[in-house]
Amino acid sequence: MSVVGSAVVPVVLAIALGAGARRVVGPVSAWRGLEWLTYYCFTPAMIASAIAAAELRAGAFPPILLALGLPTVVVAAALVLLRAPMRQDEPATGAVLQGSIRFNAYLGLAYSSALHGAAGTAGFAVTAAVMVPVVNALSVGTLAAYQARSGASAIRAVVREVAGNPLILGCLGGVALNLAGGVPSLAEPVFSMLAGPAVVCGAILTGTALQWQLRGPDLVAIAIASTLKLLVLPAIAIIVTLHLDVDTVVRDCLVLVSALPAAPSAYVLAVRLGGDGRLTASITGVQTLLSVITMPCMLALVALT
């Protein structure tokens, strides 16, 4: 419960703050400035800082890709291919996809530190450093493809959007800094200052778009995304780790990333790329609340294996 109190509750409160502030400040359109800063400055800085500080080793990649990467790609592909049978429009599919594969790294760091101290933090950082580019490429690529529609010009537009997306650039910048030995000491205060507001601003912006007056299709979308993210992917990770030769810290970090709720940055990305921000915000809010129950259960389950 201490981890829930220190990690999940602050995010829930920040989302609630955004929902309450919308009544005072105004509708979502009044938050465009903060949205721009979060998307182009705060979140890329947080991603780059995390990847730059991770201890990347070639031997760490196969377990991460098997337990997390491959299932994530399969889930994303299935959601795209099943869009028509599920009778979802493209913005809604983008929201479900993001809600099914993205993860809240802030919560993950808090849980991993509480579980295994410094070793847990390092293990989570490595796992996140591998998975953040994967989920961002899938999310940005899908939303950009839906926005661009079809044709050769659409393919060029998708490539251009992915190549120039600030979240993707944050991943690439983090890898470059990691290979160069980390963030230079003179730049560390700047990165730290820019990365600090990313989680709270993303959560507040999620709250500004959160709506509880949902339609029937919205409830179905939330149920699909929440089931995949909080139950199916963690179950797959637990099963795969049973057959991998990994220590307890690595095992827990793999399951932890799979079980984390969607990140508030999903809402910002949806809005910037023409997705369904309202549905994305609802999925993020519901998953964050449900994770208070599901995450401890998943971590307890893996401890019994």
pLDDT for 21-38, tens place per residue? Answer: 877 877 666 787 888 888
φ, ψ dihedrals at 100, nearest 5°: -95, -20
**With bands split at pLDDT 50, 70 and 90, how would you rate the model's confidence at 6?**
low
Residue labelled with tokens 């592909």? 77
Confidence of residue 234 (pLDDT cuts 50, 70, 90): very high
Question: Which has the higher per-residue pLDDT, 214 or 123?
Answer: 123
Model pLDDT, residue 269: 85
pLDDT at 302: 84
- Cβ burial, residue 41 (10 Å; 0-12/13-18/19+): middle
Which is nearest to 90 in space by CA: 279, 287, 286? Answer: 279
Residue 88 CB contacts under 8 Å (≥ 6 apart), including other chains:
96, 217, 221
For the cut 90, the answer to whether the pLDDT of residue 75 exceeds it is yes
Higher local confidence (pLDDT), 104 or 216: 104
pLDDT at 35: 81
Helices 43-53 & 166-179 angle (0-180, nearest 10): 30
Instruction: Report yes or no: 299 and 115 within 8 Å, Cβ to Cβ.
Output: yes
Of 152, 25, 134, give the one whose Cα is nearest residue 73.
Answer: 134
Contact assessment for residue 252 and residue 88, using Cβ atoms and an 8 Å cutoff:
no
3-class DSSP state for residue 72? Answer: helix
Element (H, E) at 129: helix 105-148
Residue-wise pLDDT tens digits, 196-208: 888 788 878 877 7
Q: What pLDDT shows up at residue 232?
A: 96
Residue position matching structure tokens 């721009």:
36
Alpha-carbon distance of 277 to 285, in angstroms, equals 12
Q: What angle do CA 142, 132, 47 make, to 5 degrees?
A: 115
Residue 102 confidence (pLDDT)? 93
Q: Are 208 and 20 in contact (CB under 8 A)?
A: no
Dump pLDDT digits (tens) for 266-275.
888 888 888 8
Q: What is residue 224's predicted lDDT score, i.e. its pLDDT?
A: 94
Range 72-83 average pLDDT:
91
170 or 211, which is more confident? Answer: 170
The pLDDT confidence band at residue 158, using thresholds 50, 70 and 90, is: low
pLDDT of residue 227: 96
Give the tens place of pLDDT for each residue, 237-289: 999 998 888 888 889 899 999 999 998 888 888 888 888 888 998 898 899 88
Tokens (6 digits) for 113:
């530190």
Q: Which two tokens stand for residue 54?
A: 């991770």
How far apart, in Å, are the Cα atoms of 77 and each of 159, 211, 265? 18, 28, 21
State the pLDDT confidence band at 223, using cuts at 50, 70 and 90.
Answer: very high
Q: Give the pLDDT of residue 228.
A: 96
**d(C-alpha 61, C-alpha 126), whole Å:** 9
The average pLDDT across 122-131 equals 82
DSSP code, position 219: H
Q: What average pLDDT does this structure show over 213-236? A: 89
> pTM here?
0.78
Indicate the burial class of 8 (C-beta count within 10 angstroms; 0-12, 13-18, 19 or more): buried
